[in-house]
A and B are shown apart, each in its own frame.
Chain A
Amino acid sequence: MDFYLGLAQIFGVHTLLGLSAYVVLLTGQVSMAQAGFYAIGAYTAGAMTAMFGLHILPAIVIAGLVSAAIACIVGFPALRVKGLMLVVATLAFGEMVRLFFFNLTWQVERNGDRVGPNGAEGFRSIRYFPENGWEVWHVTVFIWFVVVVVMGALWWMDRTRAGAVLRAVGHDETAAQSIGLNLTAVKVGAMTAGGFIAGLGGGIYAHTVTHIEHGVFGVLLATFAIAYPILGGLGSVFGTLIAVLFIQGFLIEGLRFMGEWRSLLFGALIVLAMNLRPHGLLGEHAPRLKNLFGAGPARPSDPLSTKEAK
C-alpha cells in the first residue's frame, strides 16, 4: 500500500511542476527554467525546515515566494526575446541554478549534526515528516491537498479575465498588444505565477525524498515540466494531470515489466503521441463536462467554431 501512496506523491509533485509550466505556456512562451525554480524551491524549503526548524506550511510558502521573486527578476531580461531564443535563455538559467547548487556549501549546526547543502553531495536529511511523526498517507493527503488547491485556483483563473488575457497573448501577440494589453506585464506575471507553483512543488518534493542533489534538477526535469502540459493539451489544467498520469503512471511505472526496453519505448511513444495528437491528448479546447454527458442544452451554432476556419 505504501508503494501506491508513494506513487501518488510522485504524481502530485510532478503535477505541480507541470502546472507551473502550463501557466507560462498559456502565454505562448516555452520556458525550460521550471526545473531551476523547482530546485530553488526544494533547497529553500529544505533549509527552512531542516536548518531553521520552521513548520512545513510556512516553509513551502516561503519557498514558493522566493522562487516567484527570482522568476520575476529573470523574467524581465529573458522575456525580451521569444521563441527559440527564450528556450535557450531559460535553458541556460536552469543550468545556472543547478550549477549554483552544485557549488553551494552552507551548513549550520543543529542538534549536534551539521545540516545544509554540501556541494556535490547534496542536501541530506530533510527529515521534517518522519521527525514529526507524519505517516505516508498523511503526506500523500497533504500533497494532493496542495495540488487540488493549485489546480482549483488555475481552473478558476482560466474562467476569469486573467485567463482570457493570458490566452490572448499566447494566440497572437500583436493582436493582444493592439487591444491595449501590456505584453511584458502579462508574460512576467505568468512567469512569476509559474515560479511560485514550481517553488511549492520543489519544496514538497524535497521533503518527500529527504535528500536532494543538483543532478535531479537537470535539463531532463525541465523537459518533463514542459512535456506534461504540451502532451496533455493546453485546453485545461486537467490535460496536465492526465499527461502526468500517462507519463509517470503508464510509461514509467506501468511499463516496468518491459525491463530495459521501457526507456526506449518512452521517447518513441512521445514522438508517436505528438504525431497523432499534435495539440495534446485533450486538445486545445478541453471537452466540457456538460458536453460529455449531454446535460447542457446543445447550442445550435457555436460562435467559437468560426475561428477554427483557416
Chain B
Amino acid sequence: MDYFLIIDFVQSLLDGLLFGTTYALIGIGFTLIFGVMRKLNLAYGAAALAGTYIGVAATFAFDAPPPVVFLLSALGSGAIGIVVYYCCFRFTPTHYPMASLLASVGMLLFIDEVVIHASHGMPLPYPSVFREATIELGDIWVRGDLLFVFFICVVAMAVLFWLLYRTPLGLATRAVSQQPRAAALCGIDPTRVNLLTFGLAGILGGIAGAMTAAAVGVLSPIIAMGLTVKGLIAVVIGGLGSIPGAIIGGLLVGAAENVFLMLRGVTERDIYVMLLLFLFLTLRPGGLFGSTAGRD
C-alpha cells in the first residue's frame, strides 16, 4: 500500500469522525422526539438552521463574540422547536401520524422561506474559533476548529446524559417514552414532557447547526437539507430510539462521508453514504442498537 494513501485515508477518517459528532447531535434530537411522541419531525433540520441564523443576526446587531453567537444559536433553535411543537404536533390527532408529518413538512418549507427572506438567500460568514491552530501527530494534522466542534458536541452529549439520567425531568422523559399512558397515570403531564423534549432537541439541533456552520465558516440555507438527511441516516444506522446508537451512527456517517469524499470526489460522495444505509436496512433493519420495538 502507498504510504501517502494511508496517511490521506487516516486523515479523512479522523476529520470525518470529528465532524460526525454534529450528525450525532441531530440524530439524538430525532431519537428524543421519536422516543416521547412516536412521530417524525421533518422540520427539525430547518429549525436548527434557523436558530443558527438567530446567532448570526446577533453578530450584525451588536457585534457579539463567538461564544455568545453559539449560545444564541442553541437557545434560538430551542425556542423554534417549541413553536414547531405547537404548530405541528400539539393539535393534530395522535393516532394519525401522517397529519403531523405533513404539517412538519409545511413548517420545513415555511422556516426555509423565512430564512431565505431574512438573509436574501446569500451565504453569511459565521464565526469560527481556532481556525489557524493545528495539532500535528506525525504526518496527521488535527484541525483546531474541528477539534473544537468535537469538544462542544461531546460536552452537549454529556449534559444531555446528565439531564436524562440524573434529574427528575429526565426520569419523566424516559417514563413517557417507555409507556405514555402509565406515565400519565403517575401524574406526569405528557404535554409538558413533549414540550420540554422539543425544546431540548431544538437546543441540541442549534448546537449542531452552529458547529456545522463554524466548521464550514459560512452559513447558507443549503445546510438544512444535509443536516436532516444525514441526521436521519445516523438514527437509522444506530437504531431508532437509542441514544448511543445515534452517536455511533453519526460518527459512522461522518467518517464514511469523508472517506468517500477522498476516494470518489464530492459529486459521488453521498451516493455511497446512501448505499451504506441500504446495506444496514437489508442486513440489520433494527439498526446497531435497536430493539425489535424500534422497527415500529
**Distance to closest chain B CB from A290 (angstroms):** 27
Of the listed stretches B13-21, B49-57, B207-215, B267-275, name the one at the interface; the rest are far from the partner chain.
Answer: B267-275
Within 8 A of A (CB), among B59-112: 87-88, 91-93, 96-103, 105-112
Q: Main SS of the interface on chain A?
A: helix
**Distance to closest chain B CB from A219 (angstroms):** 6
Residue of B nearest to A234 (CB): B98
Cβ of B142 within 8 Å of any chain A Cβ, yes or no, is no
Q: In the complex, A78→B240 CA distance in Å?
A: 15
With A102-B267, A227-B102: A96-B109 Cβ-Cβ less than 8 Å: no
Within 8 A of B (CB), among A66-81: 77-78, 80-81
**Distance to closest chain A CB from B280 (angstroms):** 9
Does A96 contact B99, Cβ atoms closer than 8 Å? no
Residue of A nearest to B101 (CB): A30
Residue of B nearest to A266 (CB): B109
Does A270 contact B277, Cβ atoms closer than 8 Å? no
Q: Which of A99, A120, A269 gathers most chain B CB within 10 Å?
A: A99
For A30, the chain B residues whose CB sits under 8 A away are: 98, 101
Residue in A91, A102, A103, A230 whose CB lies within 8 Å of B229: A91
Residue of B nearest to A263 (CB): B113
Interface string of A248-279 (1 = CB under 8 A from B): 00000000000010011011111101110011
Residue in B87, B100, B267, B296 whose CB lies within 8 Å of A83: B296
Residue of A nearest to B265 (CB): A103
**Distance to closest chain A CB from B168 (angstroms):** 28
With A77-B281, A99-B271, A279-B96: A84-B240 Cβ-Cβ less than 8 Å: yes
Within 8 A of B (CB), among A84-128: 84-85, 87-89, 91-93, 95-96, 99-100, 102-103, 120
Does B93 contact A278, Cβ atoms closer than 8 Å? yes
Does B278 contact A89, Cβ atoms closer than 8 Å? yes
**Distance to closest chain A CB from B284 (angstroms):** 10
For A279, the chain B residues whose CB sits under 8 A away are: 96, 99
Does B281 contact A274, Cβ atoms closer than 8 Å? no
Q: In the complex, A227→B109 CA distance in Å?
A: 12
Does B113 contact A92, Cβ atoms closer than 8 Å? no
Count A interface residues, CB 8 Å: 43
Cβ of A25 within 8 Å of any chain B Cβ, yes or no, is yes
Cβ of A82 within 8 Å of any chain B Cβ, yes or no, is yes
For A273, the chain B residues whose CB sits under 8 A away are: 106
Q: Main SS of the interface on chain B?
A: helix
**Distance to closest chain B CB from A170 (angstroms):** 10
Cβ of B114 within 8 Å of any chain A Cβ, yes or no, is yes
Does A88 contact B233, Cβ atoms closer than 8 Å? yes
With A99-B268, A231-B102: A275-B274 Cβ-Cβ less than 8 Å: no
With A82-B296, A99-B267, A278-B96: A92-B102 Cβ-Cβ less than 8 Å: no
Does B105 contact A270, Cβ atoms closer than 8 Å? yes
Q: Which of A92, A102, A269, A270 gathers most chain B CB within 10 Å?
A: A92
Q: In the complex, A5→B53 CA distance in Å?
A: 41
Q: In the complex, A263→B275 CA distance in Å?
A: 34
With A260-B117, A274-B103: A80-B285 Cβ-Cβ less than 8 Å: yes
Cβ of A223 within 8 Å of any chain B Cβ, yes or no, is yes
Does A88 contact B235, Cβ atoms closer than 8 Å? yes
With A81-B285, A96-B275: A103-B106 Cβ-Cβ less than 8 Å: no
Residue of B nearest to A271 (CB): B106
For B285, the chain A residues whose CB sits under 8 A away are: 80-81, 85
Interface residues of A (CB under 8 A from B): 25, 30, 77-78, 80-85, 87-89, 91-93, 95-96, 99-100, 102-103, 120, 219, 223, 226-227, 230-231, 260, 263-264, 266-271, 273-275, 278-279
18 residue pairs bridging A and B, Cβ less than 8 Å apart: A83-B295, A85-B281, A87-B232, A89-B277, A92-B233, A95-B274, A96-B270, A96-B278, A99-B268, A100-B271, A102-B267, A223-B105, A226-B105, A227-B105, A264-B110, A267-B111, A275-B91, A278-B92
Interface residues of B (CB under 8 A from A): 34, 40, 42, 87-88, 91-93, 96-103, 105-114, 117, 225, 229, 232-233, 235-236, 240, 267-268, 270-271, 274-275, 277-278, 281-282, 285, 294-296
